[in-house]
Amino acid sequence: MLNILIYIFITLLFCVNIYFIIKFVEYVYCAFIIKQPPNVSTVKITKQKIVEQINTYYKMAKTVCDIGSGYGNLARFIAKNTNKKVVGIENVKFSVYVSKILNVFCGGNLKIIQHDAYDYFDKTEQIFDICIAYLGPQEVQKLIKYKHKMRVLICVDFKINSVKPTRIINAGHGYTLFNHKKYPHKLFIYEF
């Protein structure tokens, strides 16, 4: 019995170590090669506030796009809690693989695309009813160029400086730390 417990412990330790090594490689890849912030998970209360906004103000919307979906946590949450078709766009291969594995439990409402979001918007003819972006403060500024590809844009924690939001929603306690600056959890909602 003790041998079985030791084997289970060693296996779990091995899996945890592999996970942290992969996370470190992903972090280095994001920070130094593609020069973008690594994945940041959206806190639960923020996800709930996003779904609340979708279900309250945008009942007629059919499509939602999660720009920079990472591991797909937010996209899965939206797909499970709304009746919308959700597309997650992510450019980091490992994140796409993890997302696709986890999406097995989500059903048919969610599709993950491996692509650079800006390049995708340049090439696609699709117009999304709602786009959601949890990107860094510099990256979110680029989205205004693609406002013709979305009817509503929900920016998490970071606002677009050149456009006044339709609504600003307090999205829970806490903040996102980016470049040694604290950004309180807020939703900046833009309607185009």
| Strand partners of residue 112 | 88
Cβ(106)–Cβ(85) below 8 Å: no
Mind listing the pLDDT tens digit for each residue in 42-98? 788 999 999 999 999 999 999 999 999 988 899 999 999 998 999 999 988 888 888
Cβ(87)–Cβ(67) below 8 Å: no
**Strand order of the sheet with strand 128-133?**
110-114, 85-90, 63-67, 128-133, 150-156, 181-191, 167-178
Predicted pLDDT at 84: 93
Name the pTM for this structure. 0.82
